[in-house]
Amino acid sequence: MKITQYVLLAVLGIFIVWKGVIPALTKIDTDFPTYYTSARLLMDGEDIAKMYDDKWFNEQVQRYGINHLGRFTPFPPIAAFIMLPIAYLPPLQALQAWTVINLAALSVMILLLSKILQRDIAWCSLLALGSGLALINNIRFGQFYLILSLLIIVSYYWWQKNRYIASGTMLGIGAALKYFPALYLPLFIIQREWKIIVMVCTTILVLTFLSLLVFGIEVHQQFLTSVLGGHLSGEMHDPFLSIYQSWNSLLRRLFVYDSALNAHPLLQSPTMFYVSKYCILVSIAIPTIIGLMKAQRAFGNKAPVVQFALLNVAGLLALPSSATYHFLLLILPIGILLSLHEKDLTIEQKILIVCYAAIGFMPYRFFRPFDGQGILTVLAYPRLWLMTAIFITTLVFIWRNCVPRQSVVELGSVSASAGF
């Protein structure tokens, strides 16, 4: 078993170096130009009042010698700080430095996962490298989501160690930059972790105040009035594209007509789009709430970690748009759910492994020809269906572990001995 594990680990490592690390060290691709250019403009003291003018921003990308399109939309102004420490370097050297930072973040993540999940380094390495395209594209494109995932894992680790101030600070930094970590606030409210909540909110406020000092009010007004709403509703540059793999994108493709972007919807009905969209969101929210309550019964004093995993999974399923690298945020919840039983895996855990691996290594290009082909459009969204399967499987796993209240104490002791 160990030999198989190490062989698989070697194969995954070689594949990720080949597809992710080497390209990142040799050429600039998409995404990175946006982070780099915004930080470079800030470092050079340029007038940044037009950051959300896509034409102007792309001109700045070209001016810095990057032959790729770039647009700062839909990032919050504070995202310009992300690459400030390496913005003094020429573009390719900056990407190389960022790649080294990403690899260091990956190493720290694996070490922390080993401590959190009580698993060996090889197991946690397989978990991280098993994210496949999420990890590859994050490294190759110079994205931030590996570091965001690390911030969440560090916050989780300190939360489990009762270091609430440090935990809330890490989560607040992540939420200020990318929103997603704010999803965990309801859990901390339920658990009455007031120190974490206060630190998350305080950190966000401090960073927002710093952003206002640096960028001024005008840029933030543009962000709030012209950018944020569209981002949260999935109205991207082309919200119909299947590459976003979200319910929002799928339902737009099926029901919203656009002469240029979607000339042949299955049914031209904006009403159906909105009704379906909100019905699906409710269909995610209600089972999640029920699952949170049942987890409290099923896992006793270990319920918060299961609830953490469920919220994470539900949040990823409900995203208005998603990219491959967003699913680095799936590493920790999958690790938690797989570590609930040390010996034999349940059928639900086996399904989680299959779906997680499929999300990481699915050849998505084979499904794109179905995009915009009427009812066959649903086949262009394999990641969305896999994520739905993970959500349902997580709920079933929690439901099947439910026990009478008098057995909660006993189950808690069993869970503790199983490696929590």
Which tens digits make up the pLDDT trace of 127-154?
Answer: 999 999 999 999 999 999 999 999 999 9
At residue 206, what are phi and psi to the nearest 5 degrees? Answer: -65, -45
pLDDT of residue 177: 95
For residue 409, how many C-alpha atoms fall within 13 Å in the half-sphere facing its CB? Answer: 1
Residues in the chain: 420
Alpha helices in 161-302 (DSSP H): 164-178, 185-190, 194-215, 217-222, 228-232, 247-255, 270-299
- 50-54, 237-241, 391-395: least confident range: 237-241
The three-state secondary structure class of 262 is strand
Position 322, amino acid: S
Domain annotation covers residue 169: no
181-218 tens-digit pLDDT: 999 999 999 999 999 999 999 999 999 999 999 999 99
pLDDT in tens, 147-172: 999 999 999 999 999 999 999 999 99
Supply the mean pLDDT for the chain.
91
Q: How does pLDDT run across 328-354, given as a tens digit for each residue?
A: 999 999 999 999 876 788 999 999 999
Torsion sign across C-alpha atoms 160, 165, 169, 172: positive
Lowest mean pLDDT among 33-42, 107-116, 276-285, 292-301: 292-301
Does 56 map to a domain?
Answer: no
pTM (global) more than 0.85: yes
pLDDT at 277: 95
Two tokens at 406?
A: 């008098």
Q: Tell me whether residue 188 is in a domain.
A: no
How far lies 283's CA from each of 280, 328, 388, in Å? Answer: 5, 24, 11
Does 418 fall in a domain? yes
Q: Which range has the worst mean pLDDT, 98-102, 236-240, 403-407?
A: 403-407
Secondary structure of residue 99 in the 3-state scheme: helix
Domain assignment present for residue 164? The answer is no
Name 59's Cβ contacts closer than 8 Å, sequence gap at least 6: none
Q: What is the per-residue DSSP string for 47-65? A: --TTTT-HHHHHHHHHHTT
Q: How many domains does the chain have?
A: 1
- Summarize pLDDT for 34-63 with one digit per residue, the tens: 999 999 999 998 888 889 988 999 999 999
Domain contains 175: no
Is residue 280 situated within a structural domain? yes
Residue 275 lies in domain: 234-420
Tokens of 199: 């630190």
- Asked if residue 110 belongs to a domain, the reply is no
